[in-house]
Amino acid sequence: MSGPSSQVGRYYRVRRSFDAMRDNFVEGELLIYESSAYSRYDGIAGYFFKQVDQVGSRWWDVPDDQPADLWLELFEAMDPPPA
């Protein structure tokens, strides 16, 4: 399973609203990539973000049986917003 860039601090915009295992994402949300993890036991990759102007983390958990390019349908890499 490939996923968002492993570059910490990379910005992503949610392309379309969707429900994840532990979170709900809404079209247009701006997220900042924090980290990823993989559970071989569960067969799930986890991608962790923070939302711009929000406290706390956001989680996108992806089972191994999902298409490798699914993340491209859900997230769009963005430049950081102007300061």
* Domains of the chain and CATH, by start: 11-78 (2.30.30.350)
Q: Which is it for the CA torsion 25, 26, 27, 29, positive or negative?
A: negative
Residue (of 61, 83, 78, 57) closest to 70 by Cα position:
61
pTM exceeds 0.75: yes
> Could you tell me whether strands 11-14 and 18-19 are parallel, antiparallel, or unpaired per DSSP bridges?
unpaired
Do 26 and 43 form a contact (C-beta atoms < 8 A)? Answer: no
Identity of residue 62: V
pLDDT digits (tens, 9 = 90+) for 28-71: 999 999 999 999 999 999 999 999 888 889 999 999 998 878 88
Q: 3-class DSSP state for residue 71?
A: helix
**Res 1: pLDDT:** 44
